[in-house]
Amino acid sequence: MLYPTSFENKLGFDQIRELLKSKCLSTIGKDLVSSIAFSADRDDIFLNLQLTGEMLNVLNIEEGFPSQDYYNLIPDISRITIPGTYLEEEILSELRLSLQTVADLISFFSSRQESYPLLFAQIESTIADSSALGLPADFIHRIDRIVDERSQVRDNASPELLKLRKEKAFKIASVESKIHHDLKVARQSGWTPDDAEVTIRNGRLVIPMLSAHKRKISGYVHDESATGQTVYIEPAEIFETNNEIREIEYAEKREIVKILIAFTDQLRPETHNLISLYHFMGVIDFIRAKALFAVDVSGILPKQAGRTSFPGGRKHAFKWYQAIHPNLYLHFKNIKKTVVPLDLELEADERILIISGPNAGGKSVCLKTVGLIQYMFQCGLLPTVREDSEFLIFKKIFIDIGDEQSIDNDLSTYTSKLLNLKFFLEHVDEDSLLLIDEFGSGTDPSQGGAMAEACLEEMALKNTYGIITTHYSNLKLLSGKIRGIVNGAMLYDSKKLKPLYRLKKGKPGNSFAFEIAAQIGFPSAVLDKARNITGHSQLNFEKQIQDLETEKEEMSKKTTELGVADDFLAELITKYEKLSGDLEKSKKEVIENARNEALRIISEANKTVEKTIKEIKEAQAEKEKTRTARADLKEFKEKLENNPPPAVNIEAGNLKASETKPDRKAKTPRTVLLKPQATGYESPKHIQYQSYLDDLHMKLIEFQSTLDLRGKRVDETISLLQKYIDDAIMLSIPEVRILHGKGNGVLRQVTRDYLRSVKEIKSAKDELLERGGSGITVVLFK
């Protein structure tokens, strides 16, 4: 249930319908746009969102999607159900082109059914009979044998037609030959005007003759000039031939009709299947239009839309992040402005949000944003929120926005609002969403406020969900007194006297009536009197609350920024610790390898010594010298086992073992053996700072001046783009290039939209034509 009857107009959904229609290629698609309706059926909403989400991926990723010749021939096909009727040549050409589009669509989704299962399922759900899938190719072939690319019936469409056209061509050639001969004689005789040429009158070839000489050639006068000085004569000798040509033309038309009837007779039994084919094409056109609209307004498929347990019960919360009003977004995009997004959460114990704040502070826009996005969602259009947002499904949506006073019905503004309230009280329940702007206004504030408070309490008892804007202080005091009611404020910078257009839940807002009046130059004496009447304590209290909320918002922003910086620093420290560990491990491995290598060398040297001793024995050398050689060798071996070899060079970040050559003798002087030097100690702060600089240096070395986004999805594109631009700003890169390609223009649009939101960017424009043109965006930083 929706209320009032002007629901779509008040929220601006009628504008969205027109935008969707403008994106349709067929009248069937436009008719389906007109039939878009609010649904509370969870499965129906789920299917429509998923279908549009799949089509959005098609537009972002695929190439060659059929997007032309979406003719709607259902009226013409329905007309030929009566025997004897037929389709004209031009309709036949449109039938051929549109059937080719249907065939291409079926082929496109059949070859990608794993990627787009729901779109592929539309083939079976909209095409009545599977045998109809072969009809496009069959009838395309038949039409090609009848009609050419100029929508003319071919000469060889039938043997009789070919015969008639050959005969007509022969007789026309004969007539042209004779009449040109007569014109030549008339020119030579001076019977015609100087610029006379053979022309046509009443479908006949004629010769322009001067009136004074019109009897010089025997024939029939078909026309004369406005002055009467020239007459147009058909020579008698070709008159009969022209009559014969006319009869052949009549026979030709009869044969063409006969051919078209014969073809239509073949088409007639398949009328029902053909209509289902065109309905399939229209459905795809309709879904495509919704996906194109989603591209324009950055609509997304919420993650929850892919869950089996799609939301709809009261156990789920109403949580929206980064919501934007689609119509406002499109308007601001045209004038190079940015919409401030809306974050909104309503829990089971916080069902009704009372929003207060200054005029022109964004209260009404907030209300309309909620109403329009919720309505879009339940109409199967991708909502303009962040993908992790959560939706409830309502069976009823009631709004009271704008003035409903009527001269015809003698209704005042307040009377119309009372009638709306009466309707709401009779119909709201826990499955309702209630949106009321300027609640209680239009009458005496004390009485209007009392009525609003009583109605609000009754609505809260019925567990309805609602968002209500007001300036009444008594309504702001209901939070905490009545279960389910919570305050909210549209934040306002009281120092700069500028609205921030951000919603903050938990505290009421100040109307800033006096501050705004002062800003526009209102008489100070009058303002002072007004302040005295209101009471300074009340004014100061509201101002302090608002200042506190503004400061809290700024602190939250600073905390977030510090958190990001802290995470980055922690990441760098983790990298350092890992590198340090790897370095120590490598150091130990090198030392161990060097020691093993030295032992191997000693072992080889030992063999040499044994050989030498053997030779000494054989030479009957002195035993004492042999013992001395053995002792020296043993001492050297023990030294190597207990200490690293001296030829190991350890440098920061560079470990290598120098080649060690054994001495020609088996002895090594002790002075050559060196103890490893202890490494110096550096403080953790110094290590972190140096690591941070090293990380920046590495980022600068690895940074590429061009980011290639071709083939990426929209969510992938935004993530990559954000990181790339952040790195460029951090490294003070003056200029970069974003390669997104041309294609459907989706990636280019997403890229440009994001770049416009970065204040550090000076400009973003197309590359020179010879270097890539609109397929590349050149970004200059401030």
Give the length of the chain: 782
pLDDT on residue 25: 96
Evaluate whether 200 touches 224 at the Cβ level (below 8 Å).
no
Residue 560 reports pLDDT greater than 60: yes
Lowest model confidence (mean pLDDT) among 272-286, 583-597, 636-650: 636-650
The amino acid occupying position 465 is Y
What proportion of the chain, given as a percentage, has pLDDT over 90?
Answer: 40
Q: How far lies 170's CA from each of 163, 174, 181, 248, 250, in Å?
A: 11, 6, 17, 11, 16
**Residue 170, both tokens:** 């022969």
Lowest model confidence (mean pLDDT) among 519-523, 659-663, 740-744: 659-663
Instruction: Name the average pLDDT for the chain.
Output: 82
Q: What is the pLDDT of residues 100-128, one digit of tens each?
A: 999 999 999 999 999 999 999 999 899 87
Evaluate whether 489 touches 356 at the Cβ level (below 8 Å).
yes
Q: Name every residue whose Cβ is closer than 8 Å to that of residue 252 and which is 6 or more positions away in sequence.
A: 161, 164, 165, 168
pLDDT on residue 630: 62
pLDDT on residue 162: 96
User: What is the C-alpha to C-alpha distance for residues 633 and 660, in angstroms, rounded to an integer?
Assistant: 17
Helix runs in 35-134, H state only: 42-61, 74-79, 89-110, 117-126
Neighbours of 504 (CB within 10 A): 20
Whether the model pTM is above 0.75: no
User: What is the C-alpha to C-alpha distance for residues 495 and 340, in angstroms, rounded to an integer?
Assistant: 20
Q: Which range has the top average pLDDT, 67-76, 602-611, 667-676?
A: 67-76
Q: Which range has the top average pLDDT, 376-390, 590-604, 648-662, 742-756?
A: 376-390
pLDDT on residue 559: 73
**Residue 430, both tokens:** 């826990």
Evaluate whether 315 touches 393 at the Cβ level (below 8 Å).
no
**Residue 413, both tokens:** 């503004």
The more confidently predicted of residues 416 and 282 is: 282
Residue 141 reports pLDDT greater than 70: yes
The more confidently predicted of residues 679 and 434 is: 434
Q: What is the pLDDT of residues 387-433, one digit of tens each?
A: 999 999 999 999 998 765 444 444 566 778 888 889 999 999 999 99
Confidence of residue 585 (pLDDT cuts 50, 70, 90): confident
Burial class (CB in 10 A: 0-12, 13-18, 19+), 532: exposed
The more confidently predicted of residues 155 and 308 is: 155
Q: What is the pLDDT of residues 181-222, one digit of tens each?
A: 888 888 888 999 888 888 888 888 888 999 888 888 888 888
Residue 588 reports pLDDT greater than 70: yes
The more confidently predicted of residues 615 and 326 is: 326
User: What is the C-alpha to C-alpha distance for residues 347 and 664, in angstroms, rounded to an integer?
Assistant: 88
Residue 542 reports pLDDT greater than 60: no
pLDDT on residue 299: 95
Q: Name every residue whose Cβ is closer than 8 Å to that of residue 245 and which is 6 or more positions away in sequence.
A: 168, 171, 172, 175
Residue 545 reports pLDDT greater than 60: no
Query: Which residues are paired to 73 by β-bridges?
Result: none
Lowest model confidence (mean pLDDT) among 269-283, 399-413, 519-533, 697-711: 399-413
Query: Which residues are paired to 467 by β-bridges?
Result: 353, 435
CA 465 to chain CA mean position, Å = 31
Lowest model confidence (mean pLDDT) among 123-132, 598-607, 731-740: 598-607
Q: What is the pLDDT of residues 618-677, one digit of tens each?
A: 655 455 655 665 666 566 556 655 655 444 444 433 444 444 444 445 444 444 444 444
The amino acid occupying position 149 is E
**Residue 425, both tokens:** 């009280």
Confidence of residue 537 (pLDDT cuts 50, 70, 90): very low
Evaluate whether 12 touches 53 at the Cβ level (below 8 Å).
no
pLDDT on residue 510: 66
Evaluate whether 490 touches 355 at the Cβ level (below 8 Å).
yes
Helix runs in 428-472, H state only: 445-461
Mean pLDDT, rounded, for 26-47? 95
User: What is the C-alpha to C-alpha distance for residues 351 and 361, in angstroms, rounded to an integer?
Assistant: 23
Mean pLDDT, rounded, for 28-40? 96
What proportion of the chain, given as a percentage, has pLDDT over 70?
Answer: 78
pLDDT on residue 602: 66
Confidence of residue 261 (pLDDT cuts 50, 70, 90): very high
Confidence of residue 534 (pLDDT cuts 50, 70, 90): low
Mean pLDDT, rounded, for 592-605? 72
User: What is the C-alpha to C-alpha distance for residues 500 and 550, in angstroms, rounded to an integer?
Assistant: 9
The more confidently predicted of residues 269 and 613 is: 269
| Longest distance between any two alpha carbons in the chain, whole Å | 157
Q: 232: helix, coil or strand? A: strand
Mean pLDDT, rounded, for 439-460? 80
Mean pLDDT, rounded, for 474-495? 82
pLDDT on residue 628: 64
Q: Name every residue whose Cβ is closer than 8 Å to that of residue 643 and which is 6 or more positions away in sequence.
A: 673, 675, 676
pLDDT on residue 699: 76
The more confidently predicted of residues 391 and 556 is: 391
Evaluate whether 384 touches 297 at the Cβ level (below 8 Å).
yes
Query: Which residues are paired to 488 by β-bridges?
Result: 355, 505
